[in-house]
Structure formats: structure tokens, C-alpha cells
Amino acid sequence: MTALYIVPKAWKQIEQAVRKNPSLETGGVLMGYSIGEEQWVVAYASGPGPQAIQHPTSIMFDDEHLRKLVQRMSRTRSWKYIGDWHSHTMRRLTPSKGDKRTIWEKASQSMYMSPSPLMLIVGLGKQSQLRARGFILGETLREVTNLALYEPQTLRPGSSIRL
């Protein structure tokens, strides 16, 4: 079973970025660590970078900024790049063709060093609540079966965030 746990601080980073301007896509890198076979913890979620280009239906990350961030955080913490997150301005949280192309490209880039990167897609629901779906790239792109908030101190998943 594939599981992706997000610490509350990282979830708050994502939520603040999405709520800042919900009419534009946003996103960034996910930094964290593995806690077992196909189980990851997101400890940090970045923004898209100062030179990112945001549109209502797409985003181009500031790749140079994010590469430096990944390098710095990999050196100073025990975290590594585990994937990307981005928002959708529509209610469907399904990967687009562009999303799929991006995750395949990232898997082959040595800078990110992740043969199985994760993709988290978030968006606001009908009552303006933040929703999320996670996907992992292996031989194919498949949905993460368990997506939940995580309290590292308790070593147990908390309340579910997937709808």
C-alpha cells in the first residue's frame, strides 16, 4: 500500500500558497523522507520560486531556484526531494497530459534523484476546503492509496485529507 503523509506545517504551507490567489495555479517541490516500503512523509512544501510563471490552468516553476533549494535542503537536513505539488483551479484533481509529462521528465533528471517521484495535486472544493490527491510514478502513474496528515512525534497518521 502506497502512503503519503504530510506534516501539518507542510500542509499549511500548501494551503497558504493556494489561498493566496486561488484563480492561478501554484506549486513547488516536496521535501521529506521515507518511513518504509512505499511510505513517505512530506516535511516541507516549497512555493514555485520568485521567477515562476502562473496561469489559471498551468504553472512553470522557477526551476533554477527550486534546484538550489533541493540541493541546500538535502545538505542541511535529512530530507530529500520526493516529488512536486501543484494546484488546479478547477475541481478535478486528475493529472493532465502536461502533469504526466512533467513527472516523467523529473524522474529522469539526476538533479532530483527520484526514480519514483510523487505528485500531489491540490485544489479548493465547493465549500472552499482544500482537497488533495497523490500520485506516484513507477512503471505507470498510479494513485497513492493513503494520503493523510502526519504527526512525527506520534509516529502515526492523523486525520485523512483525501476526499
Residue 40: give the domain boundaries: 3-155
**pLDDT at residue 77, as a whole number:** 84
Q: Per residue in 113-151, pLDDT tens? A: 565 689 999 999 989 999 999 999 888 889 998 999 886
**How far from chain centre, in Å, is Cα 152?**
18
Q: Per residue in 85-122, pLDDT tens? A: 999 998 889 998 888 888 877 776 655 556 568 999 99
Measured CA to CA, the distance from residue 50 to residue 8 in angstroms comes to 24
Residue 155, pLDDT above cutoff 70: no
CATH of the domain at 37: 3.40.140.10
Is 162 a domain residue? no
pTM score, whole prediction:
0.88
* The three grid cell numbers given for residue 53, joined into one nine-digit string: 510563471
Which residues, 6+ apart, have CB-to-CB distance to 25 below 8 Å? 54, 55, 56, 57, 58, 59, 86, 87, 88, 89
**pLDDT at residue 163, as a whole number:** 30
Which residues, 6+ apart, have CB-to-CB distance to 128 below 8 Å? none
